[in-house]
A and B are shown apart, each in its own frame.
Chain A
């Protein structure tokens, strides 16, 4: 079945550093892939998505490219800010199960000034 493996945290970076959070997946078919973010005290927000191979999802300076050959969907940002401190989750739908999502374990990011 579908599964997702996400880089463990916590990750601590200085402001303006480059960020990569790794996410790899196994999947039946070619599902959409998602990154969600949970800021402190808030709910889960959809950060970006990609619906097919080689698609690049982007939002708020974050990017992730759907790589079929490496089964990866790594999250990147060129210059992080303190306000990016949050928990990031990689996710994909379970094959043929109506929108049910599988999430990675979450990566906590802390950005220091």
Chain B
């Protein structure tokens, strides 16, 4: 089966611009998660979708971040406007069980300059 796909793999944008990251989960996986790793620190949870619904968005840092999952398939994470501290690697994961141990995508490395 195809794995979790994320794109772009890299994005460099200027402060104040908008960027949209996309995640295509494994087909049939209802659970979709977003995480990020900033500045070589620990990986932190951003949010969790079950199908098209936001189950938990407690990790979203502020209202500059907007995640959607239309139709319960792929998801997008938009950052608008981007700030320097948003730089990092954004990971997406999906699974069927909702119990951890899931498959991650390769991540999107976002650099805000």
Contact = CB atoms under 8 A, between A and B. Distances in A.
Interface of A: 31-32, 34, 36, 42-46, 49, 89, 91-94, 97-106
Which of B40, B43, B56, B105 is packed against the most chain A CB atoms within 10 Å?
Answer: B43
A103 B48 contact: no
- 3 tightest Cβ-Cβ pairs between the two chains A and B: A43-B106, A44-B104, A103-B43
B98 A99 contact: yes
Interface residues on B, range: 20 to 34
Contact of B106 (A42, A105, A106): A42
A31 B105 CA distance: 24
B100 A93 contact: yes
Interface string B5-46: 010000000000000000000000001010101001111110
A92 B45 CA distance: 12
B100 A91 contact: yes
A27 to B, nearest CB: 12
B102 A93 contact: no
